[in-house]
Amino acid sequence: MRRVTLLLLAASLFTGCGDDDGASPDSGPADAGVDAAPAPRDLGQERELTVFDYVPEGCSGTVRTPEVVEAGMGGETLGAAPTPDHVHVAIGEEASTTFAVNWHTDLATDVTQILYGLDEDAVDAADGATDEVAVRSGHTLVYETRYETLTDSLDVRIHEVHVCGLEPSTTYYYKVGGPGAWSETFDVATAPVLGSTEPWTFAASGDSRNNTAGVWQLAQRQILEAGADLHVFSGDAVNLSALQTEWDAFFEAREGDFQVQDALARIPFMVSNGNHDNLRVNYLAQFAMPQDISEGEGGQGEEWYSFDYANAHFVVLNDTVEDDATISGPEADWLRADLAAVDRDVTPWVFAVHHRNLYTCMSSHSPSGQLRTAWQPIYDEFAVDVVFQGHNHVYERSRPIRGLTATNEGVVAAEGAGGEPTFEAPGGGSGEPSGTLYFTAAAIGAPLYEVSDACPTTRAAQGVANYLMVDVDDRSITFTARNIETGAVIDELTYSK
Ligand SMILES: [Fe+2]
């Protein structure tokens, strides 16, 4: 493990966030609580920033923090409010044998442990390792962010543990914190063995920001009750990523006895960066993501990544970059190499997740010609099945699309009666889809946009709060989009490859 120390002006953390749809520094919620009032700070003062990396016990990959004011392995100190909150789980490495957990405490608490095992009662009763309960330690960090305004700030304490060497398709019980200060006990299931043909289910959503009408927590409850094994999120978790009060509201939303932590601590939640998240330290520090860090260089870190789950390969991309050339340069190179390495006999399904739209009929955010030019040829070359987009706060499904015209417009490919792609293969049964489907399931709290389906590439569209459930059963797939407020099914599609 090592530390790299950087010296930056704290003020550089607070540069403009590139919001393109009406976000205002004054528009953050002011009602979410934190453990303690922030100490006043001169935002122009110099603070040393540090990066910490290590290989968690039993894991093979390196975990690296973003640039923060403090980072290292957990200690033994319990502060005044040491009980973990904001507990949420993610895939850190191989989904069938690992998981990662993040949580938040007061600033003084640096103890960072997880107790886990197969017996819920044993985990519940434990205050340390036992014959039935294992312990792992993780890292903790502190980042400086805005509190409620442009001119105040707050130090935020986050903890992260990675557990490796687990059995596939197995439910583990766990709690996090440290002796005398544990969270409640949660359960999380590892993924089936790679290439498994057993049925499994994931949710796809995006744009929870503002949490209009409290649909974020309604949807989380529905997704938990529907038995989702995984949740992929296309970005824009909050409106102003630098405001910690918004993240507190995101992680603490509740509806009666249900709090979003009940779902987020049980269903791995895999995020992509939206223009409102904007790769802020808040976004990078609060979520664990698979990192590809090779010796001597940083790789792409947490900006974009991929992972496998059962018989599917996911690529999670970042389309809100500091330098536009990244999208057609290093990121496209990475995407091509990543997809070229996929064995479609093992993971016949390939999904991409990112924020902005290659295809959409909405005038609120037009389709991105930049993304089409950079990424669609790669999606086409490797016959990506589905792209889950966000950014437009509607529900929308494209027709199968393959290829671009001279004016950078998509070409509608052969489709079945439901708008599904067709498959041609000698002898039948498998093959490449005629085209890629582009979904926008991006209103899990964000204010709704005007909806239109008057585009040749659009098959279905609805202007309601929504999320998508995707049932994968070997080479069959079913998409079910729901209106969060009524529970009604607003779109459904099944096909096989
Ligand atoms: Fe957006």
Residue 10 has pLDDT above 70, yes or no: no
189: its two tokens: 């299931």
Rounded distance from Cα 57 to ligand 1 centre (Å)? 37
Structure tokens at 284: 């990078």
pLDDT per position as a tens digit, 152-170: 889 999 999 999 999 999 9
275 Cα–ligand 1 center, Å: 5
How far away, in angstroms, is 237 Cα from ligand 1 center? 9
Residue 157 parent element (H or E): strand 153-163
User: Could you tell me if 185 and 200 lie in one domain?
Assistant: no
Chosen domain end from 132, 158, 190: 190
Q: Is residue 165 within 8 Å of residue 102, measured between CB atoms?
A: no
Q: Could you tell me if 155 and 235 lie in one domain?
A: no
How many angstroms separate the alpha carbon of residue 239 from the centre of ligand 1?
Answer: 9
DSSP for 242-305?
TBHHHHHHHHH-EETTEEHHHHHTTS-EEE---TTTTT-HHHHHH--------TTS-TTTTSSE
Q: How far is the CA of 484 from the centre of ligand 1 (A)?
A: 20
Domain boundary among 159, 190, 221: 190
Tell me how many domains the chain contains.
2
Domain membership of residue 92 (yes or no) is yes
Say how many Å lie between the CA of residue 437 and the centre of ligand 1.
20
pLDDT in tens, 270-280: 999 999 999 99
Alpha-carbon gap, residue 466 to 303, rounded angstroms: 26
CATH of the domain at 82: 2.60.40.380
User: Do 157 and 125 fall into the same domain?
Assistant: yes
Question: In angstroms, what is the span from residue 354 Cα to ligand 1's centroid?
Answer: 10
What average pLDDT does range 314-334 have in this prediction?
94
> Ligand 1 centroid vs 444 CA: distance in angstroms?
12
Cα–Cα dist 430/310, whole Å: 18
Q: Of 167, 190, 213, which residue constitutes the final position of a domain?
A: 190
Distance 220 CA to ligand 1 centre (A): 20
Look at residue 348 and tell me if it is in a domain. yes
Give the Å distance between the CA of 395 and the centre of ligand 1: 14
Distance from the alpha carbon of residue 20 to the mean position of ligand 1, in angstroms: 8
What pLDDT, in 10s, does the model give residues 473-496?
999 999 999 999 999 999 999 999
Distance 363 CA to ligand 1 centre (A): 13
Q: The tokens of 262 are what?
A: 């009940």
7 C-alpha to ligand 1 centroid (Å) = 31
CB 271 within 8 A of CB 95: no
- pLDDT at res. 29: 33
Cβ neighbourhood burial of 313 (10 Å; 0-12, 13-18, 19+) = buried
pTM of the model: 0.92
Tens of pLDDT, residues 171-198: 999 999 999 999 999 999 999 999 999 9
* Domain containing residue 480: CATH number: 3.60.21.10
pLDDT tens-digit profile of 459-472? 999 999 999 999 99
Reply yes or no on whether the pLDDT at 12 is more than 50: no
Given a cut of 60, is residue 324 above it in pLDDT? Answer: yes
